[in-house]
C-alpha cells in the first residue's frame, strides 16, 4: 500500500528513464516490503531548477543536478532491517537501470497507521486489520 512520490529537476530524465525509476522503486518494494502485485500508486513531479532546493554537501555527500527525492508513504509495519534493505535495493536498481549516482538519491519514508488509507469508494479498507511487523 505504498504511495510513491518522486521529485526531480524538469527535463533531467527522459520518459524511459522516468518509467525505469518508478519500475525500480516498485520492484524494490515488492522484493523488500512484500508489496502485493498491482499495489502501485506512484507519481513523478518535475520541478524547475529553482524549485528543487537541496543541500549539495549535507552529511558530506556531494549531490548534483541529477538529485531526486523519493518519498514513500507506507504503513508502519516494517522492521528497521526491511527499511535498510529497501533503501539499498532502490539505490542499486536506479544505479544499474538509470545510471544514477547513489549520492543523488534521497529517500524518505512516511509511516502511517493502517486506518489512514482508503483505496477507493470512501472506505478505510484496512482500518480493522491488526498491524503485524514484517
| Domain residue limits at 102 | 3-116
**In what helix (H) or strand (E) does residue 58 lie, and over which residues does it extend?**
none
Domain assignment present for residue 41? The answer is yes
Instruction: Report angle CA 17, 19, 25 to the nearest 5 degrees.
Output: 100
User: Following CA atoms 100, 103, 110, 28 in sequence, which dihedral angle do they give, to the nearest 10 degrees?
Assistant: 40
Domain assignment present for residue 122? The answer is no
CATH number for 23 = 3.30.429.10
- Burial class of 71 by CB neighbour count within 10 A (0 to 12, 13 to 18, 19+): middle
Supply the pTM of this predicted model: 0.91
Domain assignment present for residue 134? The answer is no
Which pLDDT tens digits describe the chain residue by residue (134 residues)? Answer: 799 999 999 999 999 999 999 999 999 999 999 999 999 999 999 999 999 999 999 999 999 999 999 999 999 999 999 999 999 999 999 999 999 999 999 999 999 988 887 788 888 887 877 666 55
> Exactly one of 2, 36, 102, 131 is catalytic; which is it?
2
Q: What cell does 65 get?
A: 543536478
Would residue 2 show up in a list of annotated catalytic residues for this protein? yes
Number of domains the chain is built from: 1
Amino acid at each position: 500500500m505504498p504511495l510513491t512520490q518522486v521529485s526531480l529537476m524538469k527535463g533531467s530524465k527522459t520518459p524511459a528513464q522516468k518509467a525505469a525509476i518508478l519500475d525500480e522503486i516498485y520492484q524494490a518494494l515488492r522484493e523488500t516490503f512484500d508489496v502485493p502485485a498491482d499495489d502501485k500508486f506512484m507519481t513523478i513531479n518535475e520541478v524547475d531548477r529553482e524549485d528543487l532546493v537541496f543541500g549539495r554537501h549535507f552529511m558530506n555527500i556531494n549531490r548534483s543536478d541529477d538529485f531526486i527525492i523519493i518519498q514513500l508513504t507506507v504503513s508502519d509495519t516494517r522492521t528497521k532491517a526491511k527499511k535498510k534493505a529497501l533503501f539499498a535495493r532502490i539505490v542499486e536498481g536506479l544505479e544499474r537501470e538509470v545510471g544514477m549516482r547513489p549520492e543523488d538519491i534521497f529517500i524518505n519514508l512516511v509511516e502511517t497507521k493502517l486506518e489512514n488509507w482508503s483505496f477507493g469508494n470512501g472506505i478505510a479498507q484496512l482500518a480493522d486489520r491488526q498491524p503485524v511487523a514484517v
